[in-house]
Amino acid sequence: MDKSTLAREVTQLHAEICSALADPRRILMLYTLHECSRNVGDLAVEIGISQPATSRHLKILKQRGLVSATRKGASVEYALIDERLIQALDLLRAVLYDRLTQRANLVEEAANYTEW
């Protein structure tokens, strides 16, 4: 893949997906919707934020094509569109865990070194 194609794809990735993941509450929403679809009120309670804030975050996730909205009677249920998002998030969490473990090991080694 040439660099200009990669640059275009990375720019599009950032615009469509990464910017939607920039808020931890939206990531929590994706994990929660991975379990099952929910309406705004239920999702707000589950995440622990207000219903208006939940609606604003869902609007962004929907605009970016990460969640779908389906009318169910008087309410709207939101669902995760692509399960691979959770796999990608889990992979990123594993990378973070490894980095934090590595840092903790370095701190422990430094502490043991200074004890000599």
The count of domains in the chain is 2
Asked if 52 and 10 sit in the same domain, the reply is yes
Asked if 50 and 98 sit in the same domain, the reply is no
CA-CA-CA-CA dihedral for 60, 61, 67, 73, to nearest 10: -40
User: pLDDT in tens for each of the 116 residues of the chain?
Assistant: 799 999 999 988 888 899 999 999 999 999 999 999 999 999 999 999 999 999 999 999 999 999 999 999 999 999 999 999 999 999 999 999 999 999 888 888 877 776 65
Asked if 87 and 74 sit in the same domain, the reply is no
Asked if 77 and 98 sit in the same domain, the reply is no
Residues 69/61, Cβ–Cβ less than 8 Å = no
Domain hosting residue 96, numbered range: 83-116
Asked if 13 and 36 sit in the same domain, the reply is yes
Q: Coil, strand, or helix at residue 42?
A: helix
Asked if 110 and 58 sit in the same domain, the reply is no
CATH number at residue 24: 1.10.10.10
